[in-house]
Structure 1
Amino acid sequence: MTRTPSPSAPASVSVAARLSALDRFLAVWILLAMAVGLGLGRVVPGLDGALAALEVGGISLPIALGLLVMMYPVLAKVRYDRLDTVTGDRALLVSSVVVNWVVGPAVMFALAWIFLPDLPEYRTGLIIVGLARCIAMVIIWNDLACGDREAAAVLVALNSVFQVLAFGLLGWFYLDLLPGWLGLDSSGLDVPAWGIALNVVIFLGVPLLAGYLTRRIGERRMGRERYESAFLPRIGPWALYGLLFTIVLLFALQGGAITDRPWDVARIALPLLVYFALMWFGSFVFGRVIGMSYDRTATLAFTAAGNNFELAIAVAVATFGVTSGQALAGVVGPLIEVPVLVALVYVSLAWRRRFPGARTGATAPR
């Protein structure tokens, strides 16, 4: 993503006016991508089947390509020699683990039962979404909000480790054990650890390695200043292109289901809206209260609110079937998450000037 630094811009200039043209109209591009995807899914016969057939080990190759293109430019921007300043921040690391792996799944479990007590398939799908912590698109939201890139890289890596170790266990706890304790209906979830590990390797490991090698080799050949001023702006827009491509594919896959069952989509959307609001605002306020800087507070908030919908959809399809209510709930996840978190990027930037030492005149150069 690109930034147009303007340190002398007056404080009265809106946040949107200080963003680059690509970033300023991001919500428009995303809504258009959603509309194109839904339209393609409706008017092109067999498109969803053709896309679903391009899978290896449950991983959709076209979606994987879109995510890799989306994440690579941002991870190439990370200054990996500064990661020790993040790993030494215990408040950030502990807060992230607690918010992501204790608070997040519990909040989604409660909301799923409150809003969907009569719809067990959708309820189960939402709980699966809550268990899949974000390791992909959060990189984009964090970068747009001028969060701490190095902190985001560390936190998504931490989420990846916990995802491999804890996803299956938490699935058993929230879908089987806890409902039994509370006298509620239960539905088991058998998720192999290797499947989750493969998801993490594809959606985080590959672009992380590519970004790391690009920076190391690029700085060695060009120097840091030229690498950041000449090379990064050239690859930056590809993050948006990858994001839009991924959104088109996701909505093309489930375009028919979404447009045929609008009331069901609305029922699923309501708890998701509440979830994103609670997780983002709660984490943002918490970071501000304990004295975190703006950039790390934003990173904490976006990693807390985002979810790994790729994993959630893959698990729902593999366990319950591609036409199941659980799979539909997984697909509705990004339908709500994407526009909501884009809006929260603007909220985050608007609140930035409330932090000590933050610039009020412009978005910092990225």
Structure 2
Amino acid sequence: MNPESTPVASADGDVLRKLPFLDRFLPVWTLVAMAAGLLLGSAVPGLQTVLDAVRIGPVSLPIALGLLLMMYPVLAKVRYDRLGTVTRDRRTMVLSLVLNWVLGPALMFALAWLLLPDLPGYRTGLIIVGLARCIAMVIIWNDLACGDREAAAVLVALNSVFQVVMFGVLGWFYLDLLPSWLGLQGQDISFSPWEIARSVVIFLGIPLVAGYLSRRIGERVKGRQWYEGKFLPRIGPVALYGLLFTIVMLFALQGGTITSRPLDVARIALPLLAYFAIMWGGGYLLGKASGLSYPRTTTLAFTAAGNNFELAIAVAIGVFGVTSGQALAGVVGPLIEVPVLVGLVYVSLWLRTRWVEKAPPPA
């Protein structure tokens, strides 16, 4: 979906009817993709072995292709000549860093210990999820909610840099040092900074470079009017197709584990639901209180609420194994995140019709 072409709400505030057909019923397609993944995984018992035979970094090739297809069209839409206006917005940058790297991990740590005190494997998996800040799907949610695309690109890049530098450090802090300080039973864990860096380079770097080159070359050869009026509408739906394909593959690979432990899934889902609600709502409140515009506030909220489940799953499987409770907690993440954040996209569009900007100070 191209936010620049999204109709502005009429007086009655009916935004959702003005969305393209695919975007309007995205929750339905998401649930269908989840069900298709579960059926595919149960119907083809050897599918996981076949898919895992070819990998890009820690992620199987089909999921990697889905992520790349999901990322490229959105990054191709970014007006890279406007990025300077975002980096100069210190309020947005500071608020994003605080939400993502101070409040987010701390909140997930507290929820995991509070709601899963007797399930250390799931608890550890959720803490790993809290450390993996979103660098992929958040761009989709931000775009659908008509957030600031350039701000999202900058904040995602910022999260990527911090992820490479801080993931291992924060993992040691929240999984070992802090539980010891609080008298809780910690669990030793080790991370490879290179594995994290490689994932970031592949799943963010490649589509980012491709999107940048597409705009530069397309505008230089055909002009901006052709690029934004013809090229972008053609490739735009590919992002949502990539998202749905990724969901199918994720649930095909881990569907058996999910369906065999329904009560465990419910217990893992509870702290995740609380986490998404608090982080998204907190992002909106902070953005509004700080005087940010609707697009910037929306971007702030979604980048705070989203998580990089692909990285969390890869780390959990690499350290604890594919059948571990830590890996199951990571797999349950997108099961909860996708429908919840799709719903929050609709809430955001409703807020957009009622958003009142602060009046500028008098000259």
CA distance in 2 between counterparts of 1:10 and 1:93 reads 32
CA distance in 2 between counterparts of 1:90 and 1:266 reads 39
CA distance in 2 between counterparts of 1:187 and 1:273 reads 24
Residue 109 of structure 1: aligned partner: 109
Residue 301 of structure 2: aligned partner: 301
Contact 2:280–2:301 (CA under 8 A) maintained in structure 1: yes
Residue 223 of structure 2: aligned partner: 223
Contact 1:2–1:23 (CA under 8 A) maintained in structure 2: no
CA distance in 1 between counterparts of 2:95 and 2:168 reads 22
1:42 Cα offset (Å): 1.2
Residue 99 of structure 2: aligned partner: 99
Give the secondary structure class of the aligned counterpart of 1:164.
Answer: helix
Residue 167 of structure 1: aligned partner: 167
Residue deviations 1:54-74, cap 9 Å, x none? 224323211111000001000
**What letter is aligned with 2:235?**
I
Contact 1:2–1:20 (CA under 8 A) maintained in structure 2: no
Residue 259 of structure 2: aligned partner: 259
1:148 maps to 2:148: yes
**What letter is aligned with 2:206?**
V
**What letter is aligned with 1:310?**
E
1:51 Cα offset (Å): 1.6
**What letter is aligned with 1:300?**
L
CA distance in 2 between counterparts of 1:5 and 1:75 reads 18
Q: How many pairs does the alignment contain?
A: 357
**What letter is aligned with 1:169?**
V
Residue 209 of structure 2: aligned partner: 209
CA distance in 2 between counterparts of 1:191 and 1:308 reads 16
Residue 177 of structure 1: aligned partner: 177
CA distance in 2 between counterparts of 1:56 and 1:79 reads 29
1:189 Cα offset (Å): 1.7
CA distance in 1 between counterparts of 2:149 and 2:7 reads 20
Structure-2-length-normalised TM-score? 0.96
Residue 16 of structure 2: aligned partner: 16
Q: Identity rate of aligned residues, in percent?
A: 72
1:352 Cα offset (Å): 1.1
CA distance in 2 between counterparts of 1:334 and 1:57 reads 20
Residue 63 of structure 2: aligned partner: 63
Contact 1:171–1:189 (CA under 8 A) maintained in structure 2: yes
Structure 1 unaligned residues grouped into runs of 5+: 359-366
1:11 Cα offset (Å): 2.3
Any residues of structure 2 matched to 1:280-319 within 5 Å, and which? Answer: 280-319=280-319
Residue 50 of structure 1: aligned partner: 50
CA RMSD of aligned residues (A): 1.2
Structure-1-length-normalised TM-score? 0.95
CA distance in 2 between counterparts of 1:208 and 1:128 reads 25
1:157 maps to 2:157: yes
Residue 30 of structure 2: aligned partner: 30
**What letter is aligned with 1:17?**
R
CA distance in 2 between counterparts of 1:246 and 1:280 reads 23
CA distance in 2 between counterparts of 1:171 and 1:218 reads 42
Any residues of structure 2 matched to 1:269-288 within 5 Å, and which? Answer: 269-288=269-288
**What letter is aligned with 1:258?**
I
1:330 Cα offset (Å): 0.2
CA distance in 1 between counterparts of 2:53 and 2:273 reads 32
CA distance in 2 between counterparts of 1:115 and 1:6 reads 43
Residue deviations 1:298-341, cap 9 Å, x none? 00000000000010000000000000000000000000000000
CA distance in 1 between counterparts of 2:92 and 2:301 reads 11
Residue 196 of structure 1: aligned partner: 196
1:2 Cα offset (Å): 4.4
CA distance in 2 between counterparts of 1:265 and 1:78 reads 37
1:48 Cα offset (Å): 1.7
1:244 Cα offset (Å): 0.5
Structure 2 unaligned residues grouped into runs of 5+: 359-363
Give the secondary structure class of the aligned counterpart of 1:354.
Answer: coil
CA distance in 2 between counterparts of 1:357 and 1:290 reads 11
Contact 2:134–2:159 (CA under 8 A) maintained in structure 1: yes
1:357 Cα offset (Å): 5.3
